[in-house]
Amino acid sequence: MAATAVRMLDALSSRLTVVGLAVAEDRLREVRELNLPLVFYHPIGDVIPRLAIDRMLNRSRRRLVADAVFVCSDTWIGRVSAAILLQMGRRVMFLRKVADARRVHDMRALVLEESPICIVADGRDESGQLPQGRVHPGLYRFVESREAVAVPVSVAVSSAMRLLEGGRVQIPTPGSVLAVAVGSPVLEGAKGGEIRAGSLEKALLASRAAAEELLHNHLR
């Protein structure tokens, strides 16, 4: 499955245009210079576009966050993402959906992980699904437990098919343009601080707006 998925991603990524990479790389360097634990978070809809960008960079031996650990769920999209990431030589840790001791074990391992974490910000909550742009309450607790800086990352896509998770997972169509933006870091959780309600959502929406503006400026 992994080899097939990577071949499909190769075919797709070779036919995409990505804008905003140079600025994104500069922003990431600035964040790394804080010398604090990091959590990079993004919407579930950006999973495939981010994998496509990673695959494109991987061919030229570049990576946005070289030492990052990618958190994957035990859902279908999570398992496929994990297979692709492992095939590309990236590190993966699982966070199981089941609300029992196994998830507690997974979460504890993630909190103790020293490398930067990349994780989906939204998805499903107790009601079944979070509205678009909403951050799962558990992410606030996770960032605070790691005493980490939270950094939103967004990818806007000019043309995509949508499926899974209520149509929120987007698969870029060949020839489309991807615009990537790294948002302002949320520093409140670092060094034992408490993150204000809505801070992660606000930063994520701002990064989404920045990505969409990049895309709009490129296409006009």
CATH 1.20.120 fits 2-219, yes or no: no
- Per-residue pLDDT at 164: 60
Mean pLDDT of the chain: 87
- Per-residue pLDDT at 188: 94
- Is residue 36 scored above 90 in pLDDT? yes
* Helix, strand and coil percent figures for the chain, each rounded to 5: 45, 20, 35
Determine the average pLDDT of the residues in 32-50. Answer: 91
Digit-coded pLDDT (tens) for 124-181 = 555 555 555 678 888 999 999 999 999 999 999 999 888 765 556 788 999 999 999 9
Whole-model pTM over 0.75: yes
- Is residue 111 scored above 90 in pLDDT? yes
Residues 6+ apart with CB under 8 A from 15: 174, 175
The phi and psi torsions of 134 (rounded to 5 degrees) equal: -85, 140
Following DSSP, what letter does each residue of 72-105 receive, concatenated?
E-SSHHHHHHHHHHHHTT-EEEE--SSSSHHHHH
- Is residue 60 scored above 90 in pLDDT? no
